Amino acid sequence: MNAAQQKETWFGQAVRRLEDDALLRGKGRFVDDIHLPGMLHAAFLRSPYAHARLGAIDTAAAQALPGVVRVLTYQDLRPLLTCDRIPLAMPSGAIRFDVDPFVLARDEVCHVGEPIALVIAESRHVAEDALGLIGVTFDPLPAIVDPREGLKDGAPQARLDCPDNLVAQMSAAYGDVDGAFAGAAHVIAEDFHIHKGGGHSIEPRGLVARFDAGEDLLTVWDSTQMPHQAKRVLVRTLGLAEHQVRVVAPDVGGGFGPKFVFHPEELAVAAAAVLTGAPVKWIEDRFENFMSTVQERDQYWSVEAACDAEGRLMGIRGTLVHDHGAYTPYGVALPYNSATNLIGPYVLPSYRLDIALSLTNLIPSTPTRGAGRPQGTFVMERLLDRLAERLGLDRAEIRRRNLIQPAQMPYDSGLKTRDGGSMIYDSGDYPQCMARALAHAGWDGFEARRAKARAEGRVIGIGLSNYVEGSGRGPFESASVRIGPSGKVVVTTGAAAQGQGTVTMLAQVVADGLGVRPDAVSVIAGDTAASPLGLGAFASRQAVTAGNAAHQAAGEVRAKVLKVASQWLEADPEDLELSAGRVHVKGVPGRGRSLGEVASALAGLPGFALPPGTPPGLSAAVDYQPKGMTYCNGTHVCEVEVDPATCIVSVTRYVVVHDCGRLINPMMVDGQIIGGVVHGLGTALYELMAYGDDGQPLTCTYADYLLATADTSPRIEVHHMESPSPLNPLGVKGAGESGTIAALAVIASAVEDALKPFGVAVRDLPATPSRLFALMHPDLATPEARL
């Protein structure tokens, strides 16, 4: 910030991120920057098989290696634990049997990379050397890699300890969908597949755990999105009380979903710290990250869409087979999100999706940015493109005919939420949003550009996608605002920051309430000792939940300042204002007191009275409970050029019009949208976590697994609309994931548009050159083209 940024209000300003000064100077404190005296280092022995019975484990040679402190297996850790599995984070009645992961493999290994043993040594090098000295007997078993295969009669079991491979079965449905199909003018049917991929944060997972026997306190610095959930699991599994466990998320180098999940390694390292009495560090390396950090997105859809003669949707029905991986740390939220997100910004009178969650011998599936929603949007938008083609309509026109109108807001989609309530969109102007995006992108002029390109021998296409994202999920988030005699403003919150600007966002909100600059506000996020209650980072929720909690808490502190000051200054509270860290008579900065002086009086002195009528402490704590989900929305339009010889896709233009209600910091929202789009571009064009038929991962380096990078990403134009949410005082909605949600659909739409002359229909992503080549030249395609 500079002096010119001293504004009347900070809300809505592109304040520079308070986080960045330390990060850019290398002063960040990530887990690996934590060096505790006497700290030991952990390395995990992992399964080389996708499925095998686990025989004897011989640790003697490893244990004998100089520098090795302990070699730990399931049998060593079990006595410390109240239960041998990591409890299901989000229970659901649809789950048919217990498939929670073990702290370390017990009787069988069910995916490549599953942790089997843990070496604690004086250095990571020694620990890794010791891994090679552990002898394990495996009895290999058949592996399930395709979730559809596992559901077939007579399929091998992905896990011997489960009755079958059908983890859960459920439906999302409303309206008379069969009746709709019976009366439809047009019906289309399609199969879609969305592939497996990961979160790929710059910083992999990692933690340092320290058990202080004198204080009976386990402290865990964990690169997590959910320190409170991590604490809850540790309390339960280690049989401790809540005050005996502190989890801190220090600087976290990206979450993107996988760090929402508490992995077995986190429990194993914490238990090892309790067992050895020494601090233990484990930092996941990139190879481990590919093999053991949760992933998502593998889904197989078979769907039909029905519409009337004008292209108005009448119903969608079909089935979804969802790859659940080998364990269930999370529940059924992913396919649920896919199913609900399909509806998008459209009037869909009837709907039924039957969902099967299939156990496989792959890494467990849990949310990655978008959390099932990109798949739902992909399917709906692909169906609309197909219907447009069937009816001979412009792809924008068929959408225009189906969009929910602003006058219909708040709009009840017809779906029920997990709580039994209704899925109701709170606000938004979808037609205007799409119209603006089309205008910015020059949709109507595209055919002229295509003609020009063709004349030049270039193949180009354009695509569009609308989407809606339910954001700001509850049930609550905590924030407190506290000023001590130092006069410094401290915000504590159960929200957790992983680089998305949570600190700056909260500082802006609180600065407005207290008449201070944002850089005068210290924010402690992600520390369970600072905030007894909290949930953390998921579902693009923290601006809505923690933002409104901090806003309300700052307002309560402000009211207390005014009350005390009005006594001292003998002035009506309405004649006072807060600015520059002081409360003073309006327009008379000299006639006032500092916030520190007010706080000092309220901190209490032995035997001296507090200011009359005011409880002690200049603070307020608020657990903000949202009334309902806030639904942000947007339209993406992109143009691509495809080299018909190499099938390489270049994204030449990318326009986003996004509406997440009132913007707290437009620059940070831009960052979220752009980052989300790039994440989606990776999913659409590059990233593919490939497995062999035996369940061996084939792409465990960034040479094999391609990420979208700066040189392959286009300039992304972001335009904002602001339809305030009526559900919260700040009028804000979430924005963290929405960039990703439409990117898959819009790229598919554009690539298909470009390659339609070659007979290409995009039903699978990523649209890699080899896949596109196979679609263009089915006669020449090799089996590897499926990659």
Residues of the shown chain interacting with a second copy in the complex, contacts defined by CB under 8 A: 29, 33-34, 36-38, 89-91, 214-215, 228-229, 232, 235-236, 240-243, 333, 418-419, 473-476, 478, 482, 484-486, 488, 490, 492, 522, 524, 529-530, 532-533, 535, 538-539, 603-610, 615-617, 619, 623, 625
Nearer CB in complex with a second copy: 45/333: 333
Amino acid at 520: A
Mapped onto helix, strand or coil, the DSSP state of residue 702 is coil
DSSP string for residues in 311-341:
S-EEEEEEEEEEEEES--SS-SHHHHHHHHH
Question: Which residue number, 90 or 559, has a Cβ lying nearer to a second copy?
Answer: 90
**714 burial via Cβ count (<10 Å: 0-12, 13-18, 19+):** middle
Closest of 484, 465, 477 to residue 677, by C-alpha: 465
Least separation in angstroms between CB 549 and a second copy: 11
Helix (H) or strand (E) holding 208: strand 206-212
Comparing CB distances to a second copy, the nearer of 373 and 436 is 373
**Would strands 206-212 and 489-493 be described as parallel, antiparallel, or unpaired?**
unpaired
Nearer to a second copy, 141 or 622 (CB): 622
**Identity of residue 304:** E
What is the smallest separation between the CB atom of 481 and a second copy, expressed in angstroms? 12
In the complex, the smallest distance separating the C-beta of residue 610 from a second copy, rounded to whole angstroms, is: 5
Question: Could you tell me the smallest distance in angstroms from the CB atom of residue 605 to a second copy?
Answer: 6
Q: How far is the CB of 244 from a second copy (least distance, A)?
A: 9
Q: Looking at beta carbons only, is 475 or 757 nearer to a second copy?
A: 475
Token code pair at residue 270? 């914490």
DSSP character at residue 3: G
Three-state DSSP class for 486? coil
Q: Do 323 and 298 meet the contact criterion of CB atoms below 8 Å apart?
A: yes
Task: Identify the CA nearest to 588 among candidates 570, 607, 609.
Answer: 570
Element (H, E) at 511: helix 502-514
b/e burial code for range 418-452 (CB count within 10 A of at least 16 → b): eeeeebbbbbbbbbbbbbbbbebbebeebeebbee
Say how many C-beta atoms besides its own lie within 10 A of residue 411's C-beta: 21
Structure token pair of residue 106: 């017990």
Cβ neighbours of residue 448 under 8 Å, at least 6 residues apart?
none
CB 50 within 8 A of CB 111: yes
Q: How far is it, in rounded angstroms, from Cα 736 to Cα 516?
A: 27
Nearest distance from residue 191's CB to a second copy, in Å?
30
CB of 557 to a second copy, least distance (A): 13
Q: How far is residue 96 CA from its own chain's centroid?
A: 26
Return the number of the residue (33 or 310) whose C-beta is nearest a second copy: 33
Q: Which is nearer to a second copy, 276 or 466 (CB)?
A: 276
Alpha-helical regions (H) of 277-429: 286-292, 333-341, 373-391, 395-402
C-beta closer to a second copy: residue 237 or 508? 237
Beta strands in 689-760 (DSSP E): 716-721
Quote the least distance from Cβ 216 to a second copy, whole Å: 9
Q: How many alpha carbons lie under 13 Å from residue 275 in its C-beta half-sphere?
A: 24
Dihedrals phi, psi of 241, to nearest 5 degrees: -90, 160
Strand-strand pairing, 52-58 and 135-140: antiparallel
> Cβ distance 338 to 376 under 8 Å?
yes
Q: Work out the number of other CB atoms within 10 angstroms of the CB of residue 683.
A: 26
Rank residues 484 and 714 by Cβ distance to a second copy and give the closer one: 484
CB nearer a second copy, residue 240 or residue 291: 240
Nearer to a second copy, 296 or 381 (CB): 296
Identify the three-state secondary structure at position 140: strand
Q: Give min distance, CB of 419 to a second copy, in A.
A: 5
The two tokens of residue 462 are 């354009």
- As a whole number of Å, the end-to-end CA separation of the chain is 47
What's the closest the beta carbon of residue 426 comes to a second copy, in angstroms?
16
Determine the Cα–Cα distance for residues 536 and 543; give it in Å rounded to an integer. Answer: 11
Backbone angles phi, psi at 157, to 5 degrees: -85, 135
Please state the closest distance from residue 260 (CB atom) to a second copy, in A: 8
**Closer residue to a second copy, CB minimum distance, 203 or 687:** 203
Q: How far is the CB of 410 from a second copy (least distance, A)?
A: 19
- Is 458 or 593 the residue whose CB approaches a second copy more closely? 593
What are the residues facing 346 on neighbouring strands? 403
- Distance of closest approach, residue 735 Cβ to a second copy, in angstroms: 18
Q: How far is the CB of 582 from a second copy (least distance, A)?
A: 17
In the bound state with a second copy, the residue whose beta carbon lies nearer, of 154 and 214, is: 214
Nearest residue (CB) to a second copy, 443 versus 631: 631
Provide the minimum distance between the beta carbon of 483 and a second copy in the complex, in angstroms, as a whole number: 8
